[in-house]
Structure 1
Amino acid sequence: MMDELNKQISDLRIGKETALSYLMDQYACALHFFAYKFIKDKQTSSEIVSDAFIKLWERREHFEAIEPIKSFLYLVVKNACLDHLKHSRNKYRYEEANLIELEATDQDILRKIIYTELVELIVYEVKKLPRQQAQVLHLSFMEDKNIQEICDELGTTANTVYFARSKAVATLKKVLAQKKLSLHYLFLLLFFNLPQ
């Protein structure tokens, strides 16, 4: 994996677009989630993430390792989200809901990045679940839909949604435990919005 990543970074530096595509495949989902946590708008989040990769491409020769690339992408996305919030037409939403985000410390931003990378790991594992369980978790967590909205979208009952979600959560807990990750609390934090 690291050899492949190092090859892609070398290819990126010399201008191979396939390397940019590789990095987009690896990190776009997590960056989109990170942006969405700030601005709660899927379309704008996607545009911000795309712009971040364009900026990476423009500065590609400056990067020799993955950590500076990830730091750059997260910083660009964060700044673009904050700029978007500052210029948002919905002044109330900006002032009330996101003022705290604008004053976030580096530690808060680091926590959001770690949270996002944890989500990335969970999303990877969710993709391995049976289709209905994966759909329910995706709609519930990634799209913040309530039970009734999930029922409407999937054309199923609330009991089916509850059952699929509980089976999925149990499976993910087991998988994370097998990976020897002490993430049970973080898992609950992510899926059930416990206080941080």
Structure 2
Amino acid sequence: MQQLDRDEFEKLFRANFKGLCFFAQKYVKDFETAREIVQDSFISLWEKRDTIDASRPVKSYLTTVIHNKCHNYLRDNRKFNHKLLEIENLLEIRDDASNDLLVAKELKLAIHEAIEELPEKCREVFLLNRYENLKYKEIAVKLGISVKTVETQMSKALQHLRIRLAEYMVLILAIFTLVKLITESF
């Protein structure tokens, strides 16, 4: 490598900087990082200009230095990127959980509204069956009505809820399937 004075170094920098940045970017996939690596390589060249082999072409020296710095950067940042990926995954899980919570609240509100829309006797029969777990015969005795009337009222309630909550059916089925799988595994 020929002895570099300030003017020759500046010409070398201006002539090669941009191309070497693109060269480095192929490795690190980020232009700003590539620029920093190339700048560091030029600084290294300037600082070692007196000790570098004079027979070696300057551009060859720079590409070797840049190549090595890129590999060092990737090696050093692999651990960091792995941790960053873990953090991003946790944030995505938290976002998914937040979205699930919002959907669950929306579903709960829609169910409550649909139940409130039922006629009084129909709502009472439905609540006794689904929330107090009474059998049709027990509901009939408690309300002083026939079992057939309980069946009719439950049929009306379920039909109303199916229509009113149709947009939530996929979610409801997924929740019930999940609950069933969880309870069967214990």
What TM-score, normalized by structure 1, do the two folds share?
Answer: 0.37
Which protein shows a greater Rg?
2
